């Protein structure tokens, strides 16, 4: 067995059923093995597409996404995707070809220092110069990628390693001196939280992506049901609690709901679970939850006290801590539902008084209306993928997310161009689920070549294009903070996205009038195969509410139907 075959054999042992990639000189031998083994592989049209697709696949399935790319430019084209996965803790293993051993360090053709370049944006990385190391390295890479706080791992492999024959034996166990992968902590920390809850009058759960990543949605839902404590969510936490459940106040932060932001500001015990207190959530950090003691359930010790001081840290995997927390709450003898009933009602009333809202008219389709309409048409198992910008925030506000792993978005890095390839990956990972991508005319263009991948592989995604001819989120900031000086944010509008999609081999249609919105959407969403729906929208709509950058959370510009 040679190195290339050993890689594919190891992938089988790790239950990898699909690889995303793009061939090239340094990985010719790997691709020859893919051909001979008929290993399932999706050829994207750009390496960035491959890594985002693997990321979408990983987020939708909970499995590790796998990527192949060649040396030099092939590998550097992965960087944005690796950084995206790293910020949102997505498990990936990326195999990159490197020039042959004797050529390393000589500025050889298509050589780049991938270990050096990816060090700050990976959980771990390797340069493999000897074939005998491959089984151990691959075993470790998958273990590291999926355990603890998940993340991307890069394995850079010198070209001659692929053709070197080795004695193949896949290790049963991982031996790492500095990393164990299981993170159980101190139960006393959980008892302290239960005790603090005994004193609290206005507690709030603040949930994030960690709950989804650790598959603890069911436990979280039970805790919420048994305690009646109001819940706010980060962008990454959406879907964990059904969006329309009473007491779930939606997204918190810069574009969070009125009730979510106010509840946090009024809270006396803020219980963060699988979150990292990102600046887009906290606003002015000194004025964030000013009356609250902070509880922080978190697997990554370095997140504790990084952005905010926590009075009650609970360090450990949520798989360990949340079930114990649930048990201790149930064993405490407290009637939390009764104790927090008044507070619960207070925030639910706030939410009713001031929900996310918008005004419609008979001339133009409103972006919020579009999301709302799609949301009403699709079943609860639909996976929504977004790109980045205004449409992303509207999707977070108005799409009725009901399950985890079904709201897939680049949260931490905010990567425009993420959506289309991620939607492909999500669909390939979950072929039985409907996949809808909300994107913008700015974002979709950044990886529009992947329409070709969708068409050629007949990947059934529906691309809903929120088309407003501007880079919407930037124009919003320019409108609010830069005297309406729209510097380099007006797109001109000459590009015909319907023709573009058709040229790539996809079906496409355009919707322009509010009167035709429902019927046309219904028809387009039910077409078999990949379809782009180009929806024309006004250019000057703002995402509201909005907390200005650096302002405190209860200082919101409200807007909506009441404005």
Partner 1 sequence: MKKYILAVLVDNKPGVLTHVSGLISRRAFNIESISAGYTEDEDVTRINIEVSVEDDRELEQVVNQLGKLIDVIKIVNLGLVDSIVRELVLLKVRATKGSLADIRNIVDIFRGNIVDVSPENVVIELTGSQSKINAICEMLEDFEIIEIARTGAIALSRGPIPIKNM
Which residues in this chain contact partner 1 in the complex, by CB under 8 A?
115-116, 119-120, 123-127, 144, 176-179, 300-302, 304-306, 309
Looking at 87, 446, 451, 473, which residue is catalytic? 473
**With respect to partner 1, which residue has the nearer C-beta, 300 or 554?**
300
Min dist. Cβ of residue 55 to partner 1 (A): 21
Residue 415: Cβ within 10 Å count: 26
Residue whose C-alpha is closest to residue 49's, from 392, 411, 419: 419
- Beta strand 231-233 with 248-251: parallel, antiparallel or unpaired? parallel
Residues in the chain: 563
Min dist. Cβ of residue 73 to partner 1 (A): 21
Coil, strand or helix: which one is 118? helix
Looking at 5, 110, 189, 406, which residue is catalytic? 110
CB-CB contact of 128 with 117 (8 Å): no
Whether 201 is a known active-site residue: answer no
Min dist. Cβ of residue 16 to partner 1 (A): 21
Min dist. Cβ of residue 397 to partner 1 (A): 33
**With respect to partner 1, which residue has the nearer C-beta, 120 or 483?**
120
Min dist. Cβ of residue 85 to partner 1 (A): 16
Residue whose C-alpha is closest to residue 480's, from 543, 539, 536, 537: 543
**With respect to partner 1, which residue has the nearer C-beta, 300 or 334?**
300
Cα dihedral: 299, 425, 521, 242 (round 10): -20
Handedness of CA 257, 411, 521, 514 (dihedral sign): positive
**With respect to partner 1, which residue has the nearer C-beta, 71 or 453?**
71
Min dist. Cβ of residue 182 to partner 1 (A): 15
Looking at 5, 14, 20, 47, which residue is catalytic? 47
The residue to which tokens 């030099």 are assigned: 72
Burial zone of 253 (CB within 10 Å; 0-12 exposed, 13-18 middle, 19+ buried): buried
The residue to which tokens 């050889």 are assigned: 108
Cα maximum dimension of the chain: 72
Q: How far is it, in rounded angstroms, from Cα 137 to Cα 17?
A: 19
**With respect to partner 1, which residue has the nearer C-beta, 59 or 124?**
124
Q: How far is it, in rounded angstroms, from Cα 329 to Cα 363?
A: 53
Residue whose C-alpha is closest to residue 529's, from 502, 503, 506, 510: 506
Angle at 283 between CA 224 and CA 270, to 5 degrees: 25
Burial zone of 272 (CB within 10 Å; 0-12 exposed, 13-18 middle, 19+ buried): buried
CB-CB contact of 366 with 359 (8 Å): yes
Handedness of CA 352, 354, 357, 358 (dihedral sign): positive
**With respect to partner 1, which residue has the nearer C-beta, 245 or 305?**
305
Whether 515 is a known active-site residue: answer no
Residue 516: Cβ within 10 Å count: 12
Min dist. Cβ of residue 149 to partner 1 (A): 8
Q: How far is it, in rounded angstroms, from Cα 455 to Cα 452?
A: 5
**With respect to partner 1, which residue has the nearer C-beta, 82 or 251?**
82
Min dist. Cβ of residue 191 to partner 1 (A): 23
Residue 176: Cβ within 10 Å count: 11
**Secondary structure of 231-259 in HEC code, one letter for each residue:** EEECHHHCCCCCCCCCCEEEECCCCCCHH
Whether 110 is a known active-site residue: answer yes
Q: How far is it, in rounded angstroms, from Cα 213 to Cα 393?
A: 21
Min dist. Cβ of residue 467 to partner 1 (A): 37
The residue to which tokens 């650096």 are assigned: 550
The torsion angles phi and psi of 119, rounded to 5 degrees, stand at -55, -45
**With respect to partner 1, which residue has the nearer C-beta, 98 or 369?**
98
Looking at 36, 109, 180, 515, which residue is catalytic? 109
**With respect to partner 1, which residue has the nearer C-beta, 141 or 451?**
141
Q: How far is it, in rounded angstroms, from Cα 211 to Cα 208?
A: 6
Looking at 20, 48, 123, 159, which residue is catalytic? 159
Min dist. Cβ of residue 181 to partner 1 (A): 10
**With respect to partner 1, which residue has the nearer C-beta, 109 or 309?**
309
Active site residues: 47, 109-110, 159, 473
């Amino acid at each position: 067995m040679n190195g290339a075959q050993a890689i594919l054999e190891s992938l089988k042992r790790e239950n990898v059923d699909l690889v995303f990639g793009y061939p090239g000189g340094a990985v010719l031998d790997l691709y020859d093995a893919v051909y001979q083994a008929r290993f399932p592989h999706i050829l994207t049209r750009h390496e960035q597409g491959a890594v985002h697709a693997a990321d979408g696949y990983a987020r939708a399935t909970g499995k590790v996404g796998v990527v192949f790319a060649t040396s030099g430019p092939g590998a550097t084209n992965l960087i944005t995707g690796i950084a995206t996965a790293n910020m949102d803790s997505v498990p990936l293993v990326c195999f990159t070809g490197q020039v042959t051993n004797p050529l390393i360090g000589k500025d050889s053709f298509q050589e780049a220092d991938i270990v050096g370049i990816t060090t700050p944006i990976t959980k771990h990385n390797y340069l493999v110069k000897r074939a005998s190391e491959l089984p151990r390295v691959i075993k470790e890479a998958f273990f590291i990628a999926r355990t603890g706080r998940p993340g991307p791992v890069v394995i850079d492999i010198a070209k001659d390693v692929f053709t070197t024959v080795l004695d193949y034996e896949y290790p049963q166990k991982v031996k790492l001196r500095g990393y164990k992968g299981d993170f159980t902590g101190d139960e006393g920390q959980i008892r302290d939280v239960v005790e603090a809850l005994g004193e609290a009058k206005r507690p709030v759960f603040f949930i994030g992506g960690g709950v989804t990543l650790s598959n603890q949605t069911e436990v979280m839902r039970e805790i919420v049901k048994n305690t009646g404590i109001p819940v706010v969510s980060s962008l990454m936490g959406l879907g964990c609690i059904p969006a329309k459940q009473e007491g779930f106040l939606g997204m918190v932060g810069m574009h969070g709901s009125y009730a979510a932001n106010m509840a946090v500001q009024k809270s006396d015990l803020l219980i963060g679970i699988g979150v990292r207190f990102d600046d887009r959530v906290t606003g002015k950090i000194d004025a964030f939850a000013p009356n609250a003691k902070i509880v922080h359930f978190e697997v990554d010790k370095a997140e504790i006290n990084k952005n905010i001081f926590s009075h009650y840290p609970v360090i450990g995997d949520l798989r360990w801590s949340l079930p114990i927390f649930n048990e201790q709450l149930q064993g405490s003898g407290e009637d939390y539902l009764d104790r927090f009933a008044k507070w619960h009602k207070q925030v639910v009333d706030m939410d009713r008084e001031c929900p996310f809202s918008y005004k419609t008219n008979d001339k133009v389709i409103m972006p919020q209306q579009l999301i709302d309409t799609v949301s009403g048409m699709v079943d609860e198992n639909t996976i929504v993928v977004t790109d980045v910008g205004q449409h992303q925030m509207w999707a977070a506000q108005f799409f009725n997310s009901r399950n985890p792993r079904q709201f897939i978005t680049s949260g931490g890095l905010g990567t425009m161009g993420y959506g289309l390839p991620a939607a492909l990956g999500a669909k390939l990972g979950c072929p039985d689920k409907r996949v809808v991508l909300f994107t913008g005319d700015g974002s979709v263009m950044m990886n529009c070549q992947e329409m070709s991948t969708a068409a050629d592989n007949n990947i059934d995604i529906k691309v809903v294009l929120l088309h407003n001819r501007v880079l919407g989120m930037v124009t919003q900031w320019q409108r609010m903070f830069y005297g309406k000086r729209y510097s380099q944010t007006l797109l001109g509008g000459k590009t015909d996205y319907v023709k573009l999609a058709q040229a790539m081999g996809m079906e496409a249609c355009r919707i322009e009038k509010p009167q035709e919105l429902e019927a046309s959407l219904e028809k387009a969403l039910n077409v078999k195969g990949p379809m782009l729906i180009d929806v024309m929208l006004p250019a000057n709509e703002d995402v509201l509410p909005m907390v200005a950058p650096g302002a405190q959370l209860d200082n919101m510009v409200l807007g909506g139907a009441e404005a």
